[in-house]
Amino acid sequence: MKNTSVKFIFITGGVVSSLGKGLASASLGALLQARGYSIKLRKLDPYLNVDPGTMSPYQHGECYVTDDGAETDLDLGHYERFTGVPAKKSDNITTGKIYSNVIAKERRGDYLGATIQVIPHVTDAIKEYILSDINEEDFILCEIGGTVGDIESLPFIEAIRQLGNELGLTQTCFIHVTLLPFIKAAGELKTKPTQHSVKELQGMGIQPDILLCRTENIIPEEQKSKIALFCNLKSESVIEALDSSSIYKVPISYHNQGLDLQVCKHFYLDVLKKPDLSRWNKINHIQNSSEGNVNIGIVGKYTSMIDAYKSLIEAINHGGLANKIKVTIKWIDSEKLEILNSNFNNIFKDINGIIVPGGFGERGSEGKINAINFARINKIPFLGICFGMQMAVIEFARNVLNLKDASSSEFGKTKLPLVGLLTEWQTKTGFEKRSKESNLGGTMRLGAYDCKLAEGSFIKSIYKKEVIAERHRHRYEVNNKYISDFKKKGLIFSGMSPDNSLPEIFEIPLHPWFIGVQFHPELKSKPFDPHPLFSSLINASLKQSRLL
């Protein structure tokens, strides 16, 4: 580690899962930035998968893709959205990856015959990871996934305990996020689960420096003192983390409760300097004063697990912020649209814009194609993302070019693979190859790729740039053989890979707003810097709502 003055903040969770540790970490990162510090946020996931790339969105929610092509935990999306610091491959590690590295080293003989054990070998590998790839950052915030007490997280807790001991109080701070349940019958917030969780942590050798207590109700001072007494803390280190109506209110709310102040006190940093919270105040102000509403329909198959669309939901909200209006998302299960005589007019009655997002597999695809057909014919603003773009191209080919067999080879053998597996493509560092037999994990076109925007195109007027870089995560590509046929019928590919081989964006100039993109624009949108595609789509949907 070159930077010897860097400070580490370890964030653990207790009592239950889903406490919003990711948001809490992202918010603290944003508050430290507001105080002028540079930060990096990292997620240490205790599960055995090597990365979340092969995990079902139903179980793990969205897989967040970084510029450098890593498939990571969705919390990295929060980190990037709240801080603007682009997440990297090296910002997410799992037990699976740690163990594969340790075992690979063992096979190479790097341990010189030693017996390989969790302590010290696995914990050393975790520590090495935590201390790696640190440059000039003032703070490294490491969130430990899972809940304290889980068997899986033990090596991670042990590793951060060791680091706390090795680096000392001046370089490490432990924050524990817990829950204070409100018991209606007693009319009280209960502190016992928090006390137990802290005891569990103390039993593993970690004394938390700050407690962030999630609660539905304001925590009375005497309850804070009680927690402090039982958990060996000062009362001011017990921070109230009240439920919030918007995630973008969280940084200010935590600041008002003194979270960043306590962190600065812990590290003996300047506490008198006021943080610059203007960007968060501005967002709050827009949210509080927004008038009007548009309804955006998302047609997908994971609609019962909306975490699968985390970044998309946020990007849509950012589009609302850019237009100072509220956006309501209507979830439409694509499988319900498979039957052609479903009452589409009724289903889409008050929908002002339609998005068909990314997806995998044949199930629900015909329903998506039907929704796209409805949006195209009825001039409803439409954005197709990755799989949604591929389905839109198939819809147009079948219904306008009259290529009835048009399909994707993702669904099995097809007579007309309009969307097909690409076996070789150019990356920044050389050629990438894959075949039908390639592993499923980590073998997609992943990460940021450049795309050239056509002169005079609608897309160029939206991005106001000639070349853009957006993030990809897919195996299949639109076959470029048909580009001129599409053009003749009014669908133009207005964004291409720099070597002109891969169609990346299409648009239909005669439609008010009909765009498909092979990449995932939602991954780069920020509340303080809404993505132009989403700002433009929400604007077009607003116009559409006025026509109704």
Residues designated catalytic: 386, 520, 522
* Count of residues that bind ligand GLN according to CB under 6 A: 10
What are all long-range contacts of 63-68, with beta carbons under 8 Å and residues at least 24 apart? 63/473, 64/310, 64/311, 64/523, 65/446, 65/447, 65/471, 65/472, 65/473, 65/520, 65/523, 66/91, 66/447, 66/471, 67/447, 67/448, 67/469, 67/471, 68/447, 68/448
Cβ proximity to ligand GLN: between 173 and 496 the closer is 496
Q: How far is the CB of 386 from ligand GLN (least distance, A)?
A: 3
Confirm if 389 and 521 have CB atoms less than 8 A apart.
no
Site for ligand GLN, residues 476 to 495, rule: CB under 6 A: 476
Identify the H or E element spanning 166.
helix 154-167
Told to check if 473 binds ligand GLN by CB under 6 A, we report yes
Three-state SS at 407: strand
CA distance 50 to 91: 14
Q: Which lies closer to ligand GLN via its Cβ, residue 351 or residue 356?
A: 356
Q: Which of residues 199-258 bind ligand GLN (CB under 6 A)?
A: none
Closest separation between CB of residue 503 and ligand GLN, Å?
13
d(CA 512, CA 370): 19
Q: Does residue number 475 form part of the binding site for ligand GLN (CB under 6 A)?
A: yes
Dihedral sign, CA of 191, 192, 193, 197? positive
HSE, side-chain direction, 13 A CA sphere, residue 476:
24
Element (DSSP H or E) covering residue 313: helix 310-323
Nearer to ligand GLN, 360 or 425 (CB): 360
Q: Please, where are the H alpha helices in 337-406?
A: 344-347, 365-377, 387-399
Shortest distance in whole angstroms from residue 477 CB to ligand GLN: 7
77 makes contact with ligand GLN (CB under 6 A): no
* Residue 319 touches ligand GLN, criterion: CB under 6 A: no
- Residue 41 CB, nearest approach to ligand GLN (Å): 24
Task: Read off φ and ψ for residue 163, nearest 5 degrees.
Answer: -65, -40
Q: Which helix (H) or strand (E) holds 124?
A: helix 123-131
Q: Which stretch binds ligand GLN (CB under 6 A): 67-75, 253-261, 470-478, 531-539?
A: 470-478
438 is written with which tokens? 């390639």
474 binds ligand GLN (CB under 6 A): yes
* Cβ-based nearer residue to ligand GLN, 309 or 374: 309
Among residues 155, 195, 152, 154, which one has the least CA distance to residue 176? Answer: 195
Q: Which stretch binds ligand GLN (CB under 6 A): 5-13, 206-214, 453-461, 469-477?
A: 469-477
Q: Which is nearer to ligand GLN, 358 or 527 (CB)?
A: 358
Query: Which is nearer to ligand GLN, 32 or 356 (by Cβ)?
Result: 356
Q: What is the closest distance, in whole angstroms, from the C-beta atom of residue 97 to ligand GLN in the complex?
A: 22
Please provide the size of the chain in residues: 548
Interacting positions 400-419 with ligand GLN (CB under 6 A)? 410
Could you check whether the bond before residue 275 is cis, i.e. omega within 30 degrees of 0?
no
Q: How far is the CB of 365 from ligand GLN (least distance, A)?
A: 10
Q: Is residue 449 part of the contact set for ligand GLN (CB under 6 A)? A: no
Which residues, listed in sequence order, are joined to residue 467 by a DSSP beta bridge? Answer: 452
Nearest to ligand GLN of 391, 459 (CB atom): 391
Structure tokens at 377: 């014919």
CB of 359 or CB of 367, closer to ligand GLN: 359
State which residue, 145 or 503, has the beta carbon closest to ligand GLN.
503
For residue 101, the minimal CB distance to ligand GLN (Å) is 28
Contact flag: residue 387 with ligand GLN (CB under 6 A): yes
Least distance in angstroms from the C-beta of 301 to ligand GLN = 11
Tokens of 420: 């097909």
Helix segments in 210-309, DSSP class H? 221-231, 250-256, 259-266, 278-289
Candidate list 157, 277, 375, 386; residue touching ligand GLN; CB under 6 A: 386
d(CA 42, CA 242): 24
For residue 419, give the amino acid letter. Answer: V
Q: Is position 69 an interface residue for ligand GLN (rule: CB under 6 A)? A: no
Q: Which residues between 143 and 162 bind ligand GLN (CB under 6 A)? A: none
How far apart are CB 160 and ligand GLN at their closest, in Å? 34
Question: How buried is residue 204: exposed, middle or buried, by Cβ count under 10 Å (0-12/13-18/19+)?
Answer: middle
What is the nearest approach in angstroms of ligand GLN to the Cβ of residue 410? 5
- Answer yes or no whether residue 64 interacts with ligand GLN by CB under 6 A: no
Structure tokens at 186: 């007693």
Complex with ligand GLN: residue 63 or 542, whichever CB lies closer: 63
Residues 350-379 that bind ligand GLN (CB under 6 A): 358-360
Binding site for ligand GLN (CB under 6 A): 358-360, 386-387, 410, 473-476
